[in-house]
Structure 1
Amino acid sequence: MRILARLNRPWLHFILLGVLLFYLQGVFFPEPKPVVGPLGEAREEALRQQWMSSVRVPPTPEQWERIVEAELDRDMLFQRAIALKLHLYDTVVYQRLLRNMRFLQMGEGMDEAELYQTALDMRLHLGDEVVKRRMIQVMEQLLLATNPPAVPLESEMKAEFEQRNEELRRPPRLSIEHVYFNREREGDVEAVIEKIDAENLAPEEAREMSSPFLPGYSFRRQTPDQLARHFGTSFVQNLLDAGPEAGQWVGPVRSTYGLHYVWVSEMEAERDATLEEVRTQLLRDLESRGKEDALRESIENMRQNYEILR
């Protein structure tokens, strides 16, 4: 009875009624969400021009939807960063605003602190693309800090390895030395090859009869792609078509530069990679994918707090 008597107080009823009204106000009259978008015709046209300059074909409706969504997400992240006043604590933004003020030749006689404050008062940070990119980057780092991606498990590493086995195959590798004949000396090729074969010359000795070749004369454990950077793709194809074997001369083999008599010292066949060989690459890829997934999840959650106008 004493408890009921204590509860029967007008002031207590007043407090409880006030709390209830405050709660109901939040339920039936919530604070409006911050608005993001729409992009506007000028920005949409700029996005289309950027797409066309890189892809050269118009985006499909699905691609355009993703482009617009990504741009609205950037606006949302920037708006949130500004609301959190992250720009006030970033040295990149600080230096950028000082640079802009000096470029505009404004604030003569002001020190850096006054220049910076004037730039903020003029709201220069809101219209600068460099500041926007920086704030988006900082906001993404903040989201990843609050929703960090999971560390890849060993089971995930093995599953990724098995799934990408074909992609991760180790390419063949060749160790070669060569005697080069530029186009002016192609008539000497037959005689020089006969001399090398007849005298069983070592590659170092045969090199004395080579034309100068800037990339060099000895190449160790090179993949076909690496050899192509030095000799061109036609040389690699011609060399492989000749059926090279370790410990033998091959050629003459034509490249974009001329002819080559090639000594093959070692050959490693294409093979499957081992997990340990590609562990670092797989870990990097899984971590990158995990960050993308965590960031996407955080952005999707953030959208619930905004009104997105397309």
Structure 2
Amino acid sequence: MAFLARLNRPWIHFIVLGLALFELQRWAFPEPKPVIGPLAPARVDSLRQQWLALAGSPPSEEQLQGMVAQELDRDMLFQRALELELHLYDQVVYQRLLRNMAFLQMGEGKSEQEIYQQALDMRLHLGDEVIKRRMIQVMEQLLLAARPPLPVNEVDIAAEFESRREELRRPPRYSIEQLYFNREREDEVPAVVERIQSEGLSAEQARSLSSPFLPGYVFRQQTPDQLARNFGAAFVLNLQEAIPQAGQWVGPLRSTYGLHYVWVEAIEPSRDATLEEVRQQLERDLLSRRRATALADAIADLREDYEVRTS
């Protein structure tokens, strides 16, 4: 009872009432959140032009809104980095501002620290895209440090391997030697082929009968994609349609450049990849996806601290 009596003091009632009123005020009148956006029309148009340059067609409204959302996220991360004053402790920012000041021919006779402080006073860090990208990168690293992605274990790798078995299938590989005939010499091809067959010439022996071919004449263990880089897609299609057999001549086959008479030395058929062959790739892909997911979740949480305006 003595304890309760001690609590029955006007000054204690005043403190409790004050705290209650303070909390009530915070609940009824919260601090306004920092505002991010909306993007200026010029920036939206710039995003639209970037898409057009890369895709060859204008973005859909959904695609444009996706780009706008990403840009607003970048602005938010940059704003958060500035609030944390990360730019004051980053050497990339420091050196970038010094270079900018040198380009502007300002700060003559001053020390580097004085020039750097002058650049900050001029707020040059706010309009520099290199600094913005750097600060966004640092913020992403901080967010991931606070919410690291889940580690990848053997069970994850095995499951990923099974789900992507067809995608990871190893393509066939061809070991070939070829004789090339440019368009001016295509009429000679039947006679050359007949001579090779009648005299039993090897590809190396018959090479002097063909035209020079800049990529070369011998190609070992080449995938279809690798052959296409040297001969073009039409050549690969014609080679596959000929159903080549190891130890036989094929052709002549047409490519973008002319005709090719091809000696097939060996063919490694397409096959399933082994887990060990693709383990590192699978682990990288899983980590990359989990990092992207963890970062997206962290950015979504960060949005709760801001008022993001899309329009």
Q: Give the corresponding residue for 1:207.
A: 207
Contact 2:47-2:64 at 8 Å conserved across structures: no
Q: Bigger shift: 132-141 or 17-26?
A: 17-26
Question: Could you tell me which residue of structure 1 aligns to residue 101 of structure 2?
Answer: 101
**Aligned pair 1:300/2:300, yes or no?**
yes
Measure how far apart 1:19 and its partner are: 3.2
Aligned: 1:38 with 2:38 = yes
* Aligned positions of 1:80-95 closer than 5 A: 80-95=80-95
- Output the CA distance in 2 between the equivalents of 1:201 and 1:236: 24
Q: What percent identity do the matched residue pairs reach?
A: 67
Q: 1:65 to 1:254 in 2, by over 3 A?
A: closer
The aligned counterpart of 1:119 is 119
C-alpha distance after superposition, 1:1-42 (max 9, x if no partner): 343244344444444344333333322232221111122333
> Which stretch of structure 1 is more off in the superposition, 9-18 or 274-283?
9-18
Partner Cα distance (2:89, 2:179) in 1: 62
User: Offset of 1:264 from its aligned partner?
Assistant: 0.7
CA distance in 1, matches of 2:81, 2:89: 11
- 2-structure distance, mates of 1:155, 1:17: 58
CA distance in 2, matches of 1:9, 1:53: 75
Higher deviation after alignment, 83-92 or 228-237: 228-237
Change over 3 Å in CA distance of 1:185–1:42 after alignment to 2? closer
SS in 2 for 1:261: strand
In structure 2, distance between residues paired with 1:247 and 1:75: 62
Distance across 1 between alignment mates of 2:236 and 2:100: 53
Which residue number in structure 2 is paired with residue 158 of structure 1?
Answer: 158
Q: 1:261 to 1:61 in 2, by over 3 A?
A: closer
Q: Which residue of 2 aligns with 1:237?
A: 237
* Deviation (angstroms), 1:52: 3.0
Could you say what secondary structure the match of 1:42 adopts?
Answer: helix
Q: Which runs of 4+ in 1 moved over 6 A?
A: none
Post-superposition shift, 1:191?
3.1
1:236-264 Cα deviation digits (max 9, x unpaired) = 22222222101111122222223222111
Q: Distance in 2 between matches of 1:68 and 1:305?
A: 19
TM-score relative to the length of structure 1:
0.91
Number of aligned residue pairs? 310
**Once the 2 structures are TM-superposed, how far is the Cα of residue 45 of structure 1 from its aligned partner?**
2.7
Name the residue aligned to 1:220: 220
**What is the TM-score with the length of structure 2 in the denominator?**
0.91
Does the C-alpha gap of structure 1 residues 42 and 235 become closer, same or farther in structure 2, counting only changes over 3 Å? closer
CA offset at residue 289 of structure 1? 1.0
What letter matches 1:19 in structure 2?
A: L
Aligned residue number for residue 146 of structure 2: 146
Which residue identity is paired with 1:225? Answer: D
Question: Per-residue CA shift, 1:197-226, capped at 9, x if unaligned?
Answer: 233233333334333222111111101111
Q: Which residue of 1 aligns with 2:173?
A: 173
Q: 1:49, 1:211 → 2: CA distance?
A: 46
Which AA in structure 2 matches 1:149?
A: P
Name 2:247's counterpart in structure 1.
247
C-alpha distance in structure 2 between counterparts of 1:307 and 1:272, whole Å:
51
Distance 1:142 1:165 in 2: 35
Q: Hey, what's the Cα distance between the residues in 2 that align with 1:32 and 1:189?
A: 81
Gaps in structure 1 of 5+ consecutive residues: none
Moved more, 188-197 or 226-235: 188-197
Tell me, in whole angstroms, the C-alpha distance in 2 between the residues paired with 1:309 and 1:260: 61
2:306 is aligned with what amino acid? Y
Unaligned runs of 5+ in 2: none
After superposition, the C-alpha distances for 1:160-218 in whole angstroms (9 at most, x for unaligned) are: 33333332222111100122233343343333323322332333333343332221111
Partners of 2:174 and 2:220 within 8 A in 1: yes
1:29 is matched with 29
CA positional deviation for 1:71? 1.5
